[in-house]
């Protein structure tokens, strides 16, 4: 019995020794894992410092420096900063890995920096593919690549590195190694350890952090893939056609037809539809605002080009005109040019940049529609193939990306618009202040300076209204004196189409395309400028009045209503010009362009009035003609080919072309007897 008791005690002591030995081994492995994390972090940071300080500085000293060098090291400074902060927090406690409190400090430091680690690494990993492309472009240039390899070996002789990717891939590897190191520490840590719960939370946080970074990287890759705008020629598009693409486009078209006809319901996402609608409104507003700003600057530039202050008028003894001239000089040479420069920098350029930024979201929205049509076809299937699962994943990724990013884009774009409108108001306030400062220096020398501000405002309004009335009366008299607009001549094929469309739809339904139309949506037509179409419906199937259904002589489709103008057919005997009476045998002849006519019109009687050029005009193209002030001209058409009365077709010195209508004026002709 005594022997049995002694044997059992020996066995118990042996088991205790084994447990103690196992605990010691576990503690030793835990300490080794902690030391590995701390030491590898220091080595990792030292390698990045060698790359960004020594290698980058030496590469920048190359003549010439490698192209896109700054983009190679983009976001690496943020990675180094967060790694340095982690080591700094560990060093502040002045604890060694053997100290039991070191583990708690490590976990607390990592958790406090987890959001910063995610922000730094997700941008670096998203950009890493671009880094690889730039490095591959360096390798294509043998001399440049040899210089880069030499610099790398010289700058880091302690490591056997022969490329930039040796250093630049380290952050990609490091972020994925954190979960492995922390899980290894957790594996060799006793659950009874005071910091075990904190260690478990840190390990889970590192895994979740990697998942979020990978998801962000995948989203950005999808966005970068589909937001690009490719300028493909017709041959390139034809070369891309294959059996798979044709089948895919056919399935999408079939699904779209089913939606339009109501055969199948469309998958509705009210949240996305609201975001898309706001984006479309925002896009229209930006484009309209940009167009208005461009027109504003164009008018301002034309106003500055007319330098009236350079003309020397006979104003001896006239103080008021001299004051006006001085004010005008200051306005044109200093105030308005500075105002125009600020407008271009603070309003026009940001608006152009904002317009360019619309392309990416617009392409993603269009690609989402395509992927949605593909997804609806396979949505009801219980089991998806590999390709079908890829289609579903692509749609869900784009949809999620737009739901996350489109609200931010809309908000920032709207904020930019409000700021630009505020800047626009401030610019005009500064303009008014500058003009007021100039006028105050001449206030006592100008008429009406003694008037009360209210009386002066009334006088200004009445003077402006009277000037506008006189100008309107002059414009009406000039327009009435010009020839009635004539229709554009048609080619034989266009005449046949006109007859066909008129017989089928009636003359009141005929419209002419004012500018080239390029199809951007399904069932849109491609039309060239000047083509004739017949109106079928003033709305599309969704009730949109901006898209008209037209008949183009066989093919039917939709065209933007803004691209169409009602076609006015030519009358048999248009009225003759009031300036140049034509012979009876020439009454049927009409000119519609500046193409020289071999049969010149002979004037049979001298008119009582003649048209002369009021100002010098220099032709800027073959369709225009140069005239000098006071030179008599013959008006052939009081409008251009589009019927725009701002340009007139004239003949001067045997040449024909267009000149601005406001550069012409009528004067009475003095007869040979000296009578008007």
Sheet of 556-560: strand order equals: 556-560, 547-551, 532-537, 510-513, 564-566
Res 602: pLDDT = 44
User: What residues contact 535, with CB distance under 8 A and at least 6 apart?
Assistant: 505, 509, 510, 511, 548, 549, 550, 564
| Helix H or strand E encompassing 548 | strand 547-551
Higher pLDDT among residues 280 and 100, named by residue? 280
How far apart (Å, rounded) are the C-alpha atoms in residues 337 and 334? 6
Give the predicted TM-score (pTM) of the model: 0.51
Res 546: pLDDT = 84
The candidate with the shortest Cα–Cα distance to 527, out of 506, 558, 502, 498, is 558
The answer on pLDDT for 118 being more than 50 is: yes
CATH superfamily for domain 267-444: Arfaptin homology (AH) domain/BAR domain (1.20.1270.60)
The answer on pLDDT for 222 being more than 90 is: no
CATH superfamily for domain 492-566: SH3 Domains (2.30.30.40)
pLDDT digits (tens, 9 = 90+) for 561-591: 888 888 766 444 433 443 434 444 433 434 3
The candidate with the shortest Cα–Cα distance to 600, out of 611, 591, 608, is 591
Whether 492-566 and 609-668 share one fold: the answer is yes
What is the average pLDDT across 55-81?
Answer: 88
- In this prediction, residue 593 has a pLDDT band, given cuts at 50, 70 and 90, of very low
Eight-class DSSP state of 94: T
203: number of Cβ within 10 Å: 22
What's the CA angle centered on 596, arms 626 and 591, to 5 degrees? 95
User: What residues contact 420, with CB distance under 8 A and at least 6 apart?
Assistant: 289, 346, 347, 350, 351
656: number of Cβ within 10 Å: 20
Q: What is the mean pLDDT of the chain?
A: 81
Lowest mean pLDDT of 68-77, 139-148, 315-324, name the range: 315-324
CB distance 638 to 645 below 8 Å: yes
How many Cα neighbours within 13 Å face the side chain of 373? 19
How far apart (Å, rounded) are the C-alpha atoms in residues 84 and 64? 33
Res 421: pLDDT = 92
Res 479: pLDDT = 67
Under DSSP, is residue 388 helix (H, G, I), strand (E, B) or coil? helix
| Helix H or strand E encompassing 441 | helix 386-441
The candidate with the shortest Cα–Cα distance to 574, out of 487, 476, 673, is 487
- In this prediction, residue 414 has a pLDDT band, given cuts at 50, 70 and 90, of very high
**% of the chain exceeding 90 in pLDDT:** 19
CATH fold for the domain made of 609-668: SH3 type barrels. (2.30.30)
CB distance 560 to 517 below 8 Å: yes
Eight-class DSSP state of 233: -
The full 3-state SS of 557-615, as one line of letters, equals EEEEHHHEEECCCCCCCCCCCCCCCCCHHHCCCCCCCCCCCCCCCCCCCCCCEEEEECC
How far apart (Å, rounded) are the C-alpha atoms in residues 69 and 56? 8
Backbone phi, then psi, for 635, in 5-degree steps?
A: -80, 120
The answer on pLDDT for 594 being more than 70 is: no
* Domain boundary assignment for the chain: 1-227, 267-444, 452-480, 492-566, 609-668
Say which CATH class 1-227 falls into.
Answer: mainly alpha
- In this prediction, residue 203 has a pLDDT band, given cuts at 50, 70 and 90, of very high
Total count of residues recorded for the chain: 676
Alpha helical stretches, state H, 318-385: 319-330, 336-343, 349-357, 359-378
CB distance 335 to 431 below 8 Å: yes
How far apart (Å, rounded) are the C-alpha atoms in residues 338 and 335? 5
Distance of CA 159 to the CA centre of its chain: 46
| Long-range contacts of the stretch 413-419 (C-beta < 8 A, 24+) | 413/282, 413/286, 413/354, 413/357, 414/282, 416/350, 416/354, 417/282, 417/285, 417/286, 417/289, 417/354
How far apart (Å, rounded) are the C-alpha atoms in residues 541 and 638? 41
Under DSSP, is residue 664 helix (H, G, I), strand (E, B) or coil? strand
What's the CA angle centered on 67, arms 64 and 69, to 5 degrees? 105
The candidate with the shortest Cα–Cα distance to 520, out of 558, 561, 548, is 558
The answer on pLDDT for 388 being more than 60 is: yes
Under DSSP, is residue 426 helix (H, G, I), strand (E, B) or coil? helix
CB distance 637 to 479 below 8 Å: no
Res 427: pLDDT = 93
**% of the chain exceeding 70 in pLDDT:** 84
What is the average pLDDT across 337-343?
Answer: 92
pLDDT digits (tens, 9 = 90+) for 454-481: 887 888 888 888 888 888 888 777 766 6
The answer on pLDDT for 618 being more than 80 is: yes
User: What residues contact 444, with CB distance under 8 A and at least 6 apart?
Assistant: none
| Long-range contacts of the stretch 291-300 (C-beta < 8 A, 24+) | 293/343, 293/347, 293/348, 293/351, 294/348, 296/343, 297/340, 297/343, 297/344, 297/348, 300/336, 300/339, 300/340, 300/343
CB distance 665 to 611 below 8 Å: yes
Res 1: pLDDT = 63
The answer on pLDDT for 349 being more than 90 is: yes
Lowest mean pLDDT of 69-78, 148-157, 196-205, 514-523, name the range: 514-523
Res 604: pLDDT = 42
């Amino acid at each position: 019995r005594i022997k049995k008791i002694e044997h059992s005690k020996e066995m118990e002591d042996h088991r205790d020794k084994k447990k103690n030995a196992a605990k010691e081994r576990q503690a030793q492995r835990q300490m080794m894992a902690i030391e590995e994390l701390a030491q590898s972090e220091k080595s990792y940071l030292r390698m990045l410092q060698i790359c960004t300080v020594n290698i980058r500085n030496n590469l920048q000293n190359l003549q010439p420096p490698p192209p896109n060098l700054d983009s190679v090291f983009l976001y690496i400074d943020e990675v180094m900063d967060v790694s340095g902060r982690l080591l700094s927090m560990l060093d502040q406690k002045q604890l060694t890995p053997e100290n039991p409190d070191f583990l708690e400090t490590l976990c607390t430091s990592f958790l406090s920096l987890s959001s910063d680690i995610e922000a730094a690494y997700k941008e670096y990993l998203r950009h890493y593919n671009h880094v690889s492309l730039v490095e591959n472009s360096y390798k294509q240039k043998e001399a440049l690549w040899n210089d880069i390899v030499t610099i790398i070996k010289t700058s880091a002789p302690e490591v056997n590195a022969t490329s930039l990717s040796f250093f630049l891939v380290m952050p990609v590897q490091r972020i994925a190694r954190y979960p492995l190191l922390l899980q290894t520490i957790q594996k060799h840590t006793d659950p009874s350890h005071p910091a075990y719960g904190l260690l478990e939370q840190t390990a889970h946080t590192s895994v979740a952090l990697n998942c979020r970074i990978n998801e962000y990287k995948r989203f950005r890759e999808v966005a970068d893939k589909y937001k690009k705008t490719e300028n493909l020629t017709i041959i390139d598009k034809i070369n891309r056609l294959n059996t798979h693409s044709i089948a895919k486009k056919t399935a999408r078209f079939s699904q779209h037809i089913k939606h339009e006809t109501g055969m199948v319901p469309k998958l509705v996402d009210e949240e996305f539809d609201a975001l898309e609608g706001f984006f479309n409104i925002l896009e229209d507003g930006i484009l309209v605002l940009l167009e208005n700003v461009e027109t504003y600057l164009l008018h301002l530039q034309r106003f500055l080009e007319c330098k009236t202050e350079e003309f020397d008028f006979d104003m001896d003894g006239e103080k008021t005109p001299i004051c006006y001239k001085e004010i005008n000089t200051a306005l044109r040479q200093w105030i308005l040019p500075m105002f125009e420069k600020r407008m271009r920098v603070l309003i026009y350029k940001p608006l152009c940049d904002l317009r360019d930024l619309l392309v990416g979201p617009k392409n993603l929205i269009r690609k989402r529609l395509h992927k949605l049509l593909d997804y609806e076809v396979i949505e009801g299937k219980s089991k998806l193939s590999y390709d079908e699962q890829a289609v579903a994943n692509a749609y869900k990724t784009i949809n999620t990306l737009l739901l996350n990013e489109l609200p931010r884009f809309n908000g920032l774009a709207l904020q930019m618009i409000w700021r630009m409108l505020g800047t626009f108001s401030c610019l005009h306030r500064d303009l008014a202040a500058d003009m007021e400062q100039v006028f105050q220096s001449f206030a006592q020398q100008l008429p009406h300076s003694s008037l009360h501000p209210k009386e002066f405002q009334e006088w200004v309004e009445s003077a402006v209204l009277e000037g506008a009335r006189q100008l309107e009366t002059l414009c009406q008299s000039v327009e009435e004196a010009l020839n009635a607009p004539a229709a554009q001549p048609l080619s034989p094929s266009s005449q046949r189409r006109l007859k066909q469309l008129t017989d089928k739809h009636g003359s009141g339904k005929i419209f002419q395309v004012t500018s080239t139309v390029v199809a951007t949506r399904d069932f849109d037509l491609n039309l060239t400028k000047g083509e004739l179409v017949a109106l079928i419906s003033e709305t599309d199937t969704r009730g949109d009045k901006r898209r008209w259904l037209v008949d183009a002589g066989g093919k039917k489709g939709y065209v933007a209503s803004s691209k169409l103008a009602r076609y006015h057919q030519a009358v048999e005997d248009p009225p003759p010009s009031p300036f140049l009476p034509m012979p009876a045998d020439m009454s049927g002849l009409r000119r519609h362009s500046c193409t020289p006519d071999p049969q010149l019109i002979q004037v049979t009687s001298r008119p009582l009035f003649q048209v002369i050029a009021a100002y010098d005009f220099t032709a800027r193209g073959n369709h225009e003609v140069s005239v000098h002030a006071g030179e008599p001209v013959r008006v052939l058409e009081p409008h251009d080919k589009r019927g725009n009365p701002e340009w007139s077709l004239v003949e001067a010195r045997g040449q024909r072309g267009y000149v601005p209508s406001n550069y012409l004026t009528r004067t009475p002709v003095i007869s040979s007897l000296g009578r008007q």
